[in-house]
């Protein structure tokens, strides 16, 4: 439920509420790859590349399909040039 509400907050631009909901979601289920992925989106949209990369790395570790999704997700556009993001999405690091 927190992850779903977090996505709604993200779409509405309520980034602090979205981040809080995703933090709650992964606190309740640390294996929720989707919550980590969309949490990464929140941090990317807010311009926090390091946090976004940390969350994205966890999402990819839990579900490698997020590796491919991250390569085209518009929410990551603001951090696409960040070295941490580049290291996560290059062919060499694909899990």
Block means of pLDDT (10 residues each) for the chain, length 95 residues?
A: 90 93 96 96 96 97 94 94 92 54
Number of other residues whose CB lies within 10 A of the CB of residue 20? 16
Count Cα neighbours of 47 within 13 Å in the Cβ-side half-sphere.
0
pTM: 0.89
- Whole-angstrom Cα distance, residue 89 to residue 82? 11
Write out the DSSP string of 14-70: -HHHHHHHHHHHHHH-TT-HHHHHHHHHHHHHTT-HHHHHHHHHHHHHH-THHHHHH
């Amino acid at each position: 439920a927190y992850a779903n509400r977090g996505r709604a907050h993200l779409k509405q631009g309520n980034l602090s509420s979205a981040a809080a909901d995703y933090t709650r979601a992964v606190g309740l289920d640390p294996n929720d790859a989707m919550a980590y992925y969309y949490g990464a989106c929140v941090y990317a949209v807010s311009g926090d590349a390091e946090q976004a990369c940390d969350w994205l790395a966890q999402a990819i570790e839990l579900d490698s399909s997020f590796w491919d999704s991250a390569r085209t997700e518009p929410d990551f556009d603001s951090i696409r040039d960040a070295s941490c993001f580049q290291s996560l999405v290059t062919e060499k690091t694909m899990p």
